[in-house]
């Protein structure tokens, strides 16, 4: 297998341009066309893909795989998303979001960094390994999710949650997610838990002098202040990040002026760490709500509706994927890539719950993710491709 300069940059850029030209905004665009674009490329290079479907037959993802000619070895899956964030205000872009523009060493377009660039690299890596199966052992797969930016991760769930060909649900030895960024390897993320809190009051006419009721907005405001001031554990040294509690919404009233509102809803986002677990987060919110209700026993009790979340996770320092990427990065860049845990949750949290280790970030140098003029640095294609190729050779060594 080539080990230095043979990086198919022109082919990578051409496929990336084709994917950027195909709009695939989560919840807005039909996703069949971008799925077809990638499936056609894979098929043209002898890599038939399995199409992942939802209950209604909707397109959720693609999976393709090559196998080494030598027995044994790991099963590694490379994961990237083909759906994207929205365009935002198109007037803030210097060119159309789906018009891939190359200027001053950058390729612009929605999804170029997050994460059609990663998907394009992974497709080419699969092609390269598939052409020389005698040089590696085990299995190498690519999983392209069409439902990531919605938060549903439907492609990953369609793959990992369901048996295939009569066997158990797939459980590879590891997954590497191609989120952008070549300055570090992301090894984990905070978890999350979310709650809707219905704070109740007593309705009344807003102009009444005697029966003033009990304003649910005022009560909810007091609860919001209590939650905002709640003491959370400090940074966990073994994890690197502190937990967070964020009030993300408040809603009350029917738009009129003459009624004291008797219901106000708060939305709360809690970010979890090993020192601030799901159990602890629920207890904190429940105690704050109980304290609020205790001050006005004449009011209807508040209610908490929990939205299920994910626990925090961190891949251990001795994980083979991390070691291989670090060694490959050192060989290519002349320095050791640091590892880090990130604040947002991602598919790695879901995979951790399945017992599948996942690195959730190493890829092309990108800028302006989810913003106008999203772009990737063309100069990052060669080193990132080489690092991945070297790391996979180390992982899939016969």
Q: Which of 290, 172, 138 lies closest to 226 in space, CA to CA?
A: 290
pLDDT (tens digit per residue) in 345-374: 889 999 999 999 999 999 999 999 999 999
| pLDDT of 191 over the 90 cut | yes
Grouping H, G, I as helix, E, B as strand and the rest as coil, residue 252 is strand
**Mean pLDDT to the nearest integer, 122-140:** 96
210 pLDDT band, cuts 50/70/90, is confident
| pLDDT of 4 over the 70 cut | no
Right CATH for 9-189+312-395 from 3.30.450.20, 3.40.710.10, 3.40.50.720, 3.40.630.10 = 3.40.630.10
**Mean pLDDT to the nearest integer, 33-62:** 96
Tokens representing residue 178 in the block: 């191609």
| pLDDT of 324 over the 50 cut | yes
| pLDDT of 3 over the 60 cut | no
Nearest-angstrom CA–CA distance, 96 and 192: 35
Q: What was the pLDDT predicted at 344?
A: 85
Q: How buried is 60 (Cβ within 10 angstroms: 0-12 exposed, 13-18 middle, 19+ buried)?
A: buried
Q: What was the pLDDT predicted at 101?
A: 96
Q: What was the pLDDT predicted at 354?
A: 94
The contacts of residue 74 (CB under 8 Å, 6+ apart) are 137, 138, 139, 172, 173, 174, 320, 395, 396
Q: Judge if the upstream peptide bond of residue 267 is cis by omega within 30 degrees of 0.
A: no
| pLDDT of 339 over the 90 cut | yes
Q: What was the pLDDT predicted at 5?
A: 55
Nearest-angstrom CA–CA distance, 226 and 356: 38
Q: What was the pLDDT predicted at 184?
A: 96
228 pLDDT band, cuts 50/70/90, is very high
Grouping H, G, I as helix, E, B as strand and the rest as coil, residue 120 is helix
Residue-level length of the chain: 398
pTM: 0.88
**Mean pLDDT to the nearest integer, 333-356:** 93
pLDDT (tens digit per residue) in 376-389: 999 999 999 999 99
| In contact, 65 and 125? CB cutoff 8 Å | no
Q: Which of 173, 179, 250 lies closest to 217 in space, CA to CA?
A: 250
Give the burial string for 140-159 (b: 16+ CB within 10 Å, else e): bbbbbbbbbbeebbbbbbbb
CATH code given to domain 191-310: 3.30.70.360
Q: What was the pLDDT predicted at 255?
A: 66
Q: Which of 333, 385, 379, 337 lies closest to 359 in space, CA to CA?
A: 337
Helix 9-21 vs helix 381-395: angle between axes, to the nearest 10 degrees? 110
**Mean pLDDT to the nearest integer, 119-147:** 97
The contacts of residue 86 (CB under 8 Å, 6+ apart) are 25, 26, 28
pLDDT (tens digit per residue) in 148-158: 998 889 999 99
| pLDDT of 11 over the 50 cut | yes
| In contact, 139 and 164? CB cutoff 8 Å | no
Residue 118: which H helix or E strand, with range? helix 117-131
Q: How buried is 308 (Cβ within 10 angstroms: 0-12 exposed, 13-18 middle, 19+ buried)?
A: exposed
pLDDT (tens digit per residue) in 271-281: 999 999 999 99
| pLDDT of 231 over the 60 cut | yes
When the pLDDT of each residue in the chain is averaged and rounded to a whole number, the result is 94
Q: What was the pLDDT predicted at 254?
A: 78
Tokens representing residue 233 in the block: 């554990």
Nearest-angstrom CA–CA distance, 1 and 144: 25
Q: What was the pLDDT predicted at 2?
A: 36
Lowest mean pLDDT: which of 58-62, 145-149, 342-346? 342-346
pLDDT (tens digit per residue) in 88-127: 999 999 999 999 999 999 999 999 999 999 999 999 999 9
Q: Work out the percent of the chain whose per-residue pLDDT is above 90.
A: 87
Nearest-angstrom CA–CA distance, 34 and 38: 6
Q: Which residues sit opposite 119 in a β-bridge?
A: none
| In contact, 202 and 269? CB cutoff 8 Å | no
Nearest-angstrom CA–CA distance, 199 and 222: 10
Q: Can you point out the beta strands (E) in the chain? A: 50-53, 59-67, 70-81, 101-103, 106-108, 137-145, 174-177, 185-189, 191-200, 204-205, 244-252, 259-260, 263-272, 303-310, 313-314, 339-342, 358-359, 366-367, 375-377
| In contact, 146 and 51? CB cutoff 8 Å | no
The contacts of residue 274 (CB under 8 Å, 6+ apart) are 236, 238, 239, 312
Could you state, in order of their start, the residue ranges of all structural domains in the chain? Answer: 9-189+312-395, 191-310
């Amino acid at each position: 297998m080539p080990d230095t300069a043979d990086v198919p940059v022109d082919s990578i850029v051409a496929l990336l341009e084709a994917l950027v030209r195909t709009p695939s905004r989560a919840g807005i665009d039909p996703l069949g066309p971008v799925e077809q674009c990638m499936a056609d490329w894979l098929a043209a290079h002898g890599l038939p893909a399995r199409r992942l479907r939802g209950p209604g037959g909707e397109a959720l993802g693609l999976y393709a795989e090559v196998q080494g000619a030598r027995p044994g070895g790991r099963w590694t899956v490379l994961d990237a998303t083909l759906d994207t964030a929205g365009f935002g205000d198109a007037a803030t872009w210097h060119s159309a979001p789906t018009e891939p523009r190359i200027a001053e060493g950058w390729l612009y377009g929605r999804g170029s960094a997050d994460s059609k660039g990663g998907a394009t690299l992974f497709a080419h890596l699969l092609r390269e390994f598939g052409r020389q199966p005698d040089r590696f052992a085990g299995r190498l797969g690519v999983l392209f999710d069409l439902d990531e930016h919605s938060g549903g991760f439907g492609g990953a769930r369609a793959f990992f949650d369901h048996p295939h060909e009569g066997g158990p649900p797939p459980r590879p030895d590891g997954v590497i997610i191609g989120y952008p960024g070549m300055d570090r390897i992301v090894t984990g993320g905070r978890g999350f838990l979310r709650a809707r809190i219905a704070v109740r009051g007593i309705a009344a006419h807003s102009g009444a002098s005697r029966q003033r009721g009990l304003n649910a907005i005022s009560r909810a405001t007091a609860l919001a202040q209590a939650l905002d001031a709640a003491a959370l554990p400090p940074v966990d040294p073994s994890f690197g990040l502190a937990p967070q509690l964020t009030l993300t919404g408040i809603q009350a009233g029917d738009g009129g002026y003459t009624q004291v509102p008797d219901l106000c809803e708060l939305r709360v986002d809690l970010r979890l760490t090993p020192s601030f677990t799901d159990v602890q987060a629920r207890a904190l919110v429940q105690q704050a709500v109980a304290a609020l209700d205790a001050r006005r026993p004449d009011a209807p009790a508040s209610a908490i509706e929990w939205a299920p979340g994910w626990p925090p996770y961190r891949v251990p320092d001795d994980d083979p994927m991390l070691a291989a990427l670090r060694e490959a990065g050192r060989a290519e860049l002349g320095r050791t890539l640091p590892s880090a845990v990130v604040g947002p949750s991602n598919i790695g949290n879901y995979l951790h719950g399945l017992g599948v280790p996942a690195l959730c970030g190493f890829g092309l140098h990108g800028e302006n993710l989810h913003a106008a003029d999203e772009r990737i640095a063309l100069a990052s294609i060669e080193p990132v491709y080489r690092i991945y190729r070297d790391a996979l050779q180390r992982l899939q060594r016969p």
